[in-house]
Amino acid sequence: MGQMATKSKKKVSPKPHVQWEPDYDSTWEEEDERSRKQRPPKNQFHFTDPRCVPSRDLQMYRRSYPQNQVIAKEQSSPSSIVSCFGGDDRVKNDRYYRDKTSNLTPNLDFYQNKEPFKPNGVYIEELLTKWKSDYYRLERSHTYIQWLFPLRERGRNASAKPLTLNEIQIMKRDREVRRRFLAAYRLMLEFYGIKLQDCETGKVTREKNWMERFYNLNNHSHNNLRITRILKCLGEMGFEHFQAPLVCFFLEETLCNNYLPNVARSVLDYFIFTVKDKQERRKLVQFAWENYKSQEPFIWGPVEKLQSYRKGTGSEGRSAGRNRKFSR
């Protein structure tokens, strides 16, 4: 079976001085997520907290990439800003772009088995069959993941094109595309040692070879980025209800079972906040807080509210205990 996953006593240790940043976390607001998408967040260019950039990016994702947002380039100072939704050539260098309805459908063509992924790729049917359980190739190849799980933002593969709203609408209606997408999800879950138990609820559990696959996951950190991409793509492709069960699985394996210590920080910083359903996201943060063992401050939610919810003093708290059930 090769190397095995082992329990670790390593704690998740956030940097001191960093605290919960409410400007980019609407989890605890009573308003609907999408109802605020036209309102720019407060302190928009305040990047002293290194978590602000990923938090901002995830909030834009949850709000469906509002087109009136203005984003600072990663390499620029806060005073040097550009409109990431401008219509000129600057867009090519920005992470976000204007999501226009286009006649070009590279992601749809790939999922309809009309074109191979690029560069130097294969058709999706070949990938789903011949790459299944080929863990070495799935680990070492870095150009297929952007095609299997496309997003409405640019990634590291220059040959992969951002997903468009036009493609999303067509792909959601195409039965073969949905079948292939589910097969792609199963393929990657197996690669990580996870099994999709219920394709209706998204319930997941450990695969038989989970110890070997956990060892690989724990020692190849680029997979944390891949899982974040997968979770976000689930939310784009009509599988939002799959997000919380998978995130809960990782919370249990990292915080409760002490496996995957090198994944724990990504679970807290990224995985939780890909979940579009605000109520599910609240439950996940609550679960994380209740099982957080580090002596460092918990910076992923308002501790005062979390304490009141645990005590059952709020409307959320009164039902938290009996409703905190994920299809895990």
Do residues 173 and 206 share a domain? no
Do residues 52 and 84 share a domain? yes
pLDDT, tens digit (0-9, with 9 covering 90-100), for 286-321: 999 999 999 999 999 999 889 887 765 444 443 443
Separation between Cα atoms, residue 54 and residue 278, nearest integer Å: 18
Structural domain for 224, as ranges: 192-328
Domain-embedded: residue 140: yes
Do residues 148 and 258 share a domain? no
Q: Among 55, 72, 98, where does a domain finish?
A: 98
Do residues 201 and 137 share a domain? no
* Percent of the chain residues topping a pLDDT of 90: 60
In the chain, the number of structural domains is: 3
Contact assessment for residue 116 and residue 123, using Cβ atoms and an 8 Å cutoff: yes
Domain-embedded: residue 5: no
Q: Among 44, 73, 98, where does a domain finish?
A: 98
Do residues 202 and 312 share a domain? yes
Do residues 85 and 207 share a domain? no
Amino acid at 79: S
Res 125: pLDDT: 98
Q: Burial level of 54, CB count in 10 A (0-12/13-18/19+)? A: middle
CB atoms within 10 A of CB 252: 16
Question: Which token pair is 183?
Answer: 């097969």
CA separation, residue 222 to residues 43, 140, 225, 228, 300 (Å): 30, 11, 5, 10, 22
Contact assessment for residue 216 and residue 188, using Cβ atoms and an 8 Å cutoff: no
pLDDT, tens digit (0-9, with 9 covering 90-100), for 39-96: 444 443 333 455 676 788 898 999 998 853 434 343 333 333 223 323 333 334 445 4
pLDDT, tens digit (0-9, with 9 covering 90-100), for 86-143: 333 333 444 545 555 567 899 999 999 999 999 999 999 999 999 999 999 999 999 9
Domain-embedded: residue 4: no
Do residues 206 and 312 share a domain? yes
Q: Among 98, 113, 148, where does a domain finish?
A: 98
Do residues 206 and 320 share a domain? yes
Do residues 201 and 186 share a domain? no
Domain-embedded: residue 13: no
Res 319: pLDDT: 40
Do residues 177 and 303 share a domain? no
List residues bridging with 81 in a β-sheet. Answer: 72
